Chain A
Amino acid sequence: MADALLEIEGLTKRFGGFTALNGVSIHVKAGERFGLIGPNGSGKTTLINCVSGALPVDGGRIRFAGQEITGLPAHRRTRLGIVRSFQIPKPFGSMTVRENLEIPLEYAARERSDAADADAMEILRAIGLEAKAHLRPGGLTQIEMRKLELARAMAARPKLLISDEAMAGLSHAEVDDILAILFGLSARGITIIMIEHIMRAVMRFSERIVVLDAGERIAEGTPEEIVRNPAVEKAYLGE
């Protein structure tokens, strides 16, 4: 696939005797809004950990923008443009909200610290956390924490943003809030992989969806095709 930004070929990951991912291949096109779903324990987060570099792979290859990245350490992948947010927010607790953003601006986007200062505020303004810039993350609400997680990911200037369950546990209106932010990023040309259990969100957001079950890829298609796919229904609901 010529226009693929991220090419995952035959990815295998084992934890001891347990095979978490079994030869999974996924291609994500540049600019695409891509959904990754599957029941609990199907290997979604493991896949993301392998792509972001948090876990070494046992087999297969990962290419990003035409470059082999399978063996690169995580921080190098971030600098290339693969940025993830965490399912459970992992803010830098001793820093203010603004300083949290300055880390990726300085380290991933390689900005000088004075430029990072201004850019951090700009990102916070865009995401609606401006008023909290001087607070420590400990003083934030759940939704603000999720926004910080996304804002920090944005500060790394991603080409590919992997959003790992950014909406779990949020209210209906808050989900819409996060969705609007992600649509906004997509409109700016950032490729997005959304991992989500909230079907309403992932179906609305994604142009294409891949379904994982027990470490294998069981379906791929548009949201409409996925909803009608009997294999997907079986994976989620059983026989």
Chain B
Amino acid sequence: MRRAGGAVAVGAAIVVAAILIASLKVNPYLYFAGYVILQYVVIATAWNILGGYAGYVNFGTPAFFALGAYTAVFLIQTVKPPLPVLILAGGLVSALLGLGIGYLTLRLRGVFFSIATLALSIVLQTVIINWEFVGGSRGLSVIRPGGPPFGNYVTFLFTVMTGLAVASVLVARFIQRSWIGRGLAALRDNEEAAECMGVPTLRLKLFATTVSGFLLGVAGAPFPYYVTFVEPNSAFSLDYAVNALAMPMIGGTTSWVGPVIGAVLLGAAQQVATVTISSEMNLFIVGVVLVAFVVAAPEGLLGLARRLRGR
């Protein structure tokens, strides 16, 4: 319990630091880039709760992210509630979708589950493309609310995303260290044996898909205010599917630290590449790094470090 308190204190310190950074008047691009990296911390952490802890590889990250974003768009178009409500609503709607795909795991395992999640993303994108109210295929401009509590709206969103990243990482850390995390690890290793050793595998899988879905939706909900123009191709971008998987793989999937390391390293590398080389280099970098890691360090940087220390 005391260690959990320590982690919360560290998290709070990070958020305070982010507010201080937000009040510095440096190049505004840094906040834009920082937001994207932090958003990936949330996405990678959320993905890893299902993909890393439970071993169910989700290729449908864009579906959950975009569902969070479009839930926000829908609410902005109708009642225009404050940002925290948008985030909560985006999370809850995506959590419902997560619960739904959780039931898929009753019948689909391994690669078949992954294919189903990929299909889900395509189906959902088609629905959004044909829904004019939220912009359809042409997209929709979103007007940011005036008067953020501090700074301008981008620096404000930057600190909000810091808070969300800290909260997601704390959730992932708590799950990993609790009996839930141990049960998920057991079912990842061998689902049949886990069930026979008293682990309620279905319930744990539903928990993992729901929490993972919730956090992915949370990551997507502030997206409309960040980009101010939402259209299906960017909300359902392949980048999210690839990065959500690549970042934990590079960091290491069995611990909460892995996705954070992966998201910061890969996210930062992509931002640097976008500025210095071209935005097309993003996925290229991810692809090369991912192949390298799958071949040379399948357990990610954490596994690599463990192996080096073991010698």
Contact B179 A75 (CB under 8 A): no
Closest residue of chain B to A93 (Cβ to Cβ) is: B189
Q: How far is the CB of B49 from chain A (nearest CB, A)?
A: 16
* Chain B residues near A99 (CB-CB < 8 A): 182
The answer to the question of B186 belonging to the interface, with a C-beta cut-off of 8 Å to chain A, is yes
B196 interfacial contact with A, CB 8 Å: yes
A222 sits at the interface (CB 8 A): no
Whether the Cβ atoms of A156 and B190 lie closer than 8 Å is no
What's the Cα separation between A78 and B195 when bound, in Å?
8
Assess the A54–B183 pair: CB atoms within 8 A: no
CB within 8 Å for A92 and B200 given contacts A74-B195, A106-B179: no
Q: With a CB–CB cut-off of 8 A, which chain B residues contact A54?
A: 192, 195-196
**Do A92 and B185 contact each other (CB < 8 Å), given the known contacts A86-B193, A113-B179?**
yes
Contact with B along A130-167 (1 / 0, CB 8 A): 00000000000000000000001001100000000000
- Point out the residues of chain B lying under 8 angstroms from A73, CB to CB: 195, 200, 202
Interface residue ranges of B195-224 to A (CB < 8 Å):
195-202
- Evaluate contact between B197 and A95: CB separation under 8 angstroms: no
B194 interface residue (CB < 8 Å to A): yes
Q: CB-nearest residue of chain A relative to B195?
A: A74
**Size band of the B side of the interface?**
20 to 34
Q: Which residues of A contact B195 (CB under 8 A)?
A: 53-54, 73-75, 78
Query: Which chain A residues lie closer than 8 Å to B202 at the CB level?
Result: 73
With A106-B179, A106-B182, A113-B179 known to touch, is A91 a contact of B197 (CB < 8 Å)? no
**Is the Cβ of B193 less than 8 Å from the Cβ of A92?**
yes
The verdict on A108 contacting chain B, using a C-beta distance below 8 Å, is: yes
> B200: which A residues are within 8 A, CB to CB?
73, 75, 107
User: A188 CA to B193 CA in the complex, in Å?
Assistant: 25
- Determine the residue in chain A with the shortest Cβ distance to B179: A106
Q: How far is the CA of A103 from the CA of B189 in the complex (A)?
A: 12
Min CB distance B102 to A, Å, is 15
Selected from B182, B192, B196, the residue in CB contact (under 8 A) with A102 is B182
Given the interface pairs A103-B182, A106-B182, the reply to whether A94 lies near B189 with Cβ below 8 Å is: yes
A103–B186 CB distance below 8 A: yes
Q: Which of B117-144 contact A (CB under 8 A)?
A: none
- Is residue A83 within 8 Å, beta carbon to beta carbon, of the partner chain? yes
Contact B199 A95 (CB under 8 A): no
CB pair A95–B185 under 8 Å, yes or no, is yes
B183, B192, B198 — most chain A CB neighbours (10 Å):
B198
B178: min CB distance to chain A, Å: 9
Contact with B along A72-106 (1 / 0, CB 8 A): 01110011000110100011111100010011101
Bound-state CA distance A103–B183 (Å) is: 7
Complex-state Cα separation, A25 to B113, whole angstroms: 38
Complex Cα spacing A61 to B190, Å: 28
- B193 in complex: contacting residue of A91, A109, A113, A155, CB < 8 Å: A91
Asked if A95 and B198 make an inter-chain contact with CB atoms under 8 angstroms apart, the answer reads no
Specify which of B179, B182, B183, B192 is in contact with A90 (CB 8 Å cutoff). B192
Q: Which residues of B contact A (CB under 8 A)?
A: 179, 182-183, 185-186, 188-190, 192-202, 254
Query: What would 15 more interface pairs be, CB under 8 Å, given A73-B195, A94-B189?
Result: A74-B196, A75-B198, A75-B201, A78-B198, A86-B193, A90-B193, A92-B193, A93-B189, A94-B188, A95-B186, A102-B182, A106-B179, A107-B183, A108-B198, A113-B179
Instruction: Enumerate the 10 nearest inter-chain pairs by beta-carbon distance, A residue then B residue, closest first.
Output: A108-B198, A107-B198, A92-B189, A90-B193, A104-B197, A78-B198, A74-B195, A90-B190, A103-B186, A107-B199
Chain A contact residues, CB within 8 Å of chain B = 52-54, 73-75, 78-79, 83-84, 86, 90-95, 99, 102-104, 106-109, 113, 152, 155-156
A-B contact pairs, 17 of them (CB 8 A): A52-B196, A54-B195, A73-B195, A75-B196, A75-B198, A75-B200, A79-B198, A90-B193, A91-B190, A94-B185, A94-B188, A94-B189, A94-B254, A95-B189, A99-B182, A156-B197, A156-B198
